[in-house]
Chains A and B, each alone.
Chain A
């Protein structure tokens, strides 16, 4: 589909038009975290599917290289064991610098720790044409 970039784990070329999808089938706390867009973008949809013992927090940042346990999350929510969370952003959700995310077992500024088993994430973002 023209204007759509399919990426895996934040890798791939930037989309110049339309929306971008990012899939990560093993969201973790690795630093630097999955960097989706370098530059302004807008969150549109976030879907997280956790494994049976995958309880954790998704932490999102208006930042290209957030630092574990240091950079305060701009977006954050919990996903329970075997849970699915699908967030549809109606308005707002714009980031100025870029968007990165990670999955952790501890929330807040001290976000750290890998969920025990893989957590799948699917994001749709709308990069600003630049």
Chain B
């Protein structure tokens, strides 16, 4: 390499650099990304509630999600009055898309909104 030149690699975005925030996640399904996604981290702020809540994620287009009927592909519980957060090194592949909703029970059949606002943050590509 000639003196006085430098090779700079292009900057590369970190994994999970796209941050999705929903300050009031409910049992109504919302699209996070309408394309193949990889989930690297999640934070569920349930400090406003006296009951546990469950973050549900579907690897589907929102048109194919019926909360209470369609089995979620990802579920994570946040305890009453607490924040639950975790990260995934490799990422969790969602090959179709990413749709989220927060309910008051785990599993498939619940459609109840949390009593108070639940804030969620997803780190996703």
Contacts and interface: CB of A to CB of B under 8 A. Distances in A.
B106 A72 contact: yes
Interface residues of A, number: 28
A36 B59 CA distance: 29
A80 B75 CA distance: 16
B75 A74 contact: yes
A5 interface: no
Given A72-B105, A78-B93, A92-B79, A87 B87 contact: yes
Nearest to A59: B75
A83 to B, nearest CB: 7
Q: Is the interface of B mostly helix, strand, loop or mixed?
A: strand
A34 B8 CA distance: 51
A17 interface: no
Interface of B: 44, 54, 59, 70-79, 82-90, 92-93, 105-110
Given A74-B77, A91-B83, A92-B82, 15 more contacts: A74-B75, A75-B75, A76-B73, A76-B74, A77-B88, A83-B93, A85-B92, A86-B88, A90-B85, A91-B85, A92-B84, A107-B72, A108-B107, A108-B108, A109-B107
